[in-house]
Structure 1
Amino acid sequence: MTPPRTEILYRICWTMALLLLAVPFVFPFLWMISGGFKSTTEIFGAPTLIPRVWRFENFAEVFTYQPFARQYFNSLYIAATATVLTLFIASLAGYALARIRFAGAGLLMLFLVMALMVPEEVTIIPNFFLIRAMGLIDTHWPLILLPVFGPQGVVATFLMRQFFLALPRELEEAGKMDGLSRFGGLVEDRPAHGAAGARRGCDHHLSAFVEPAKKVTEANPGKWGFEFKDGEGYASRMTHALLPPVRAYGGDLWANGQCGLDKPEAVAAIKQLHDMVFKDKSIVPPGEQGDYFSGNSAMTVNQISRASKMPEAGFKWGIAPLPSGPAGEAPVIGQAALTVFASGKNKELAAQLVADMTSKDNVAVMAQFFPPARKSVLESDAAT
């Protein structure tokens, strides 16, 4: 569709107005470039934009009057060194002020911020005496150290502190469960993840879960990047497989008396799993049996109790939160239980079974494989 003539005229007028407004801003740069090709006589003589004689040798002669190459190099390495040191020190200081609890942390941060209120002119003479006492006069070190430990470093420390405060503590706690130190929480590879160059935990988001699982599968032929509960998840375990991602996408399997599997949120979540199973082949497919505990899969979803024997495994392992989705996190908390319904037909027999399984002797036997029962439900007040 051709725009009307009035719109074309409107655009032309706006373009011309912007070009006129740009002249005062562009002309000084054009004049500077033009002056670079002129002789001294021509620069201070009759002003012209285009040089009468183009002197390209000016750009070679300028380096004979001043050591500009050396000066540019000094500026570059001083700026780079000061930047790297500022980032390194500010990161450590910001992390300590944000995450490590120690007496006077808040007061220390207050003093740092208050130091920004001191005018730099007041610190010139004290800084000179300090640098002279350190024997750094006539060196480049003052140009590096003063910005690092001066106002610029304080601002960087404050920004780093705010950044670490905004990071979820759950990510750091998940790393600590893997045995990471404070310095080791940034990078860690498992055998399968390391071979694939994939990051552990998949950034804890479903959208970032696909690519690492695919890389792990491609780097470990015959193995999978992820498996559902107990290595399959397509029979009685189907709910375990679908519920967390569907809820993370904002849907549900059943809500308000209606099935939610045909809702857009559930469809998007299941489609992602479908593509991972049949396109990327990064999830154990139907008909196959994975086994995370023997190292056959890189990631799985399971009960915390299953991790009780993992220290005896022949590979490094860790625990991470379930990935979140567009609707946020969808944590799943479950606990195996035996229930006796009062309206059941064989409630007396069922009660005897529960009492037998929760007896002291049988609990001791099951505690070899599962977390022990804390208290028999039959002994609680709710059962009386």
Structure 2
Amino acid sequence: MQWSDYTTGQRIKILRGKDVTQSALAEMTGLSVVTVQKAEQDKALTLNTLMLIADALGVDTSVVLGQQAPRRAMEQADRTMVRTLSQVVHDTAAGLLPDHLEEADGAAGIRAAINRCWALYWKGHYVDAGALAAPLLQQAAMHRHNQPAGSVDEAWGLLADAYRLSAYVSNLMGARDLAYAAIGHAQFAAERCADELQPAIVTSGRSWIYLRDARLPAALQLAEKAATDTEPRFSKATPEQLTVYGSHINFAAVVASRLKDKERTADYLSQSHATGARMVSEHKAYGTLFGPVTASTQAVGINVALGQTGKALKLIKGIRDVSQLTEAAQNRYAMDKAMAQADANLWDASLDTLEATLTGAPQWARHQALPSVIVAKVGQASTARLRRVTELIGMRSSVTHGFPPATARSAL
């Protein structure tokens, strides 16, 4: 059954989900419970009621009317966050800031908020990160606006970071148009700051958005440019420079693997491992983390993408401790591991890995489609086990009425 096949009242009820009662929706909109009930029963729906309900549920009116399907795996809180973030991204880019807004914390406070936002992002708490990104972006825009002429370099860098965070959250939430807009504003800001690494970092972020939009040749071109622009002189490279270059050359390998270019992938992987080896341990910089463990775990997913299951399993055997990775990176590695196990017909091992991750990181798993792809591969496991894991996957989406599973997500 397609989204347009439901009545408007049924769509409101589906969008409301189990977490928002009719009474709660009435309170959110300022409407009476009777009015909400009538709307869900298709008895009465004025234009004003339609607009209030759509705004409260965090969707466009076209979604309520069935002209556009809602994004998959998004709950009401997710939609509200994306809608708010979208308004802030577009308003700040147009120079529109709330009249009551005052700069509260200065550059140091904004940098601290950026770091907190990245911490939430790398824990897999994307909704929380997006909720923080909106006021952070407003503060960064106000800070830049308040700087005297000739002294805005650092302010542009903070604004670039805030837009890039917004782009990353939007991309993971499936809000592709918003991701494109935010990364474009990030590029504009990055080119005006004094940090020579910022433009390349944003270019790599754009490459990731292209990758998830299946624009693979363009994604590879951008990924290669970002890696080239950040390649340091290894004899004098700082940990920050190695982190940025390592993450970028590694991502170039990810994109090349999606294009099935084994020779280019192998070359980039070799450079990634060499960079990781020089670093000895993982290091954080510019909202990312890289080191020898990252290089090894990312190589697992890259070999899986190339269909080189044996190489992936051999790498897995050599990886003992992933505690240095961010939580999101640990979870992504677990999914790549489960996929490799499924490709090798190790059904029970694959389900063990998958179930442990879904149970341990439900917030992260809600926004991933790869678990569904893995389950589809595991065709020889016990029915009871498959049912249990399928139920865990089903918990990720509040709208499961007749929609096919989303396509597999690309690596971060």
- TM-score of the superposed pair, with normalisation by structure 1: 0.30
- TM-score of the superposed pair, with normalisation by structure 2: 0.29
Q: Which has the higher helix share?
A: 2
Larger CA Rg, structure 1 vs 2: 1
